[in-house]
Amino acid sequence: MKKLGSSGFSLIELMIVIAIMGIIAALAVPSYQDMIARNRLKQAAEGLKSDLQWMRAESIKQSCNLRASFTEGANWSYQIYIPPAAAGSTCALQHASHGCPAAATANCNIKTVSSAQYAGTKMDDPDFFSAPETVVEFDFRRGEARRSNNSLSHGSVEMISSNYEVKVVVAPVGRVRICNEAGSTGYPNC
């Protein structure tokens, strides 16, 4: 004979299921937060790499040297700009095409990127072998990274999150790459 009664979960069974779900959630949340921090760092580094590659190509295309200037720290930013131009030069024409005075005595800003788009990331140690060290310039003739005295330059910018650190490196020939400094980000080690 079959016993008649109520079917369903007992209070003990329900408490065990809730406890197991709590343990799983407690293990998953830190891993999820770590994944988000790593992805934001990779997004910031890939964005910088892409902007530097675009800047190099635009230097060649516009026949005008372009520069990028970096501000480090938690509230980091970088600006891509056309430096002050001499009247009648190709750069003066590019100043005018970007809405800046043709014989500008100040930089003509093309693009600005800030840390607000990449919460939890920090820029550290922009170190280019130029004067000043926080500026990289691409020469329009060959796309090489140059100093103000026209000799070849190179350098890097570190991007940091809570457990990870990558470096965006600019070679003297103008090649831009990302390498891994700390933590496993999927990039080759520096």
Residue 19 in domain: no
Residue 124 in domain: yes
DSSP state of 83: P
CATH of the domain at 136: 3.55.40.10
**Average pLDDT taken over every residue of the chain:** 82
DSSP state of 115: G
Residue 91 in domain: yes
| pLDDT tens per residue across span 24-68 | 888 877 778 888 888 899 999 999 999 999 999 988 888 888 889
47 lies in which domain range? Answer: 33-182
Residue 110 in domain: yes
* H or E stretch covering 173: none
**What whole-number distance in Å separates Cα of residue 55 and Cα of residue 35?**
30
Domain count, the chain: 1
Residue 6 in domain: no
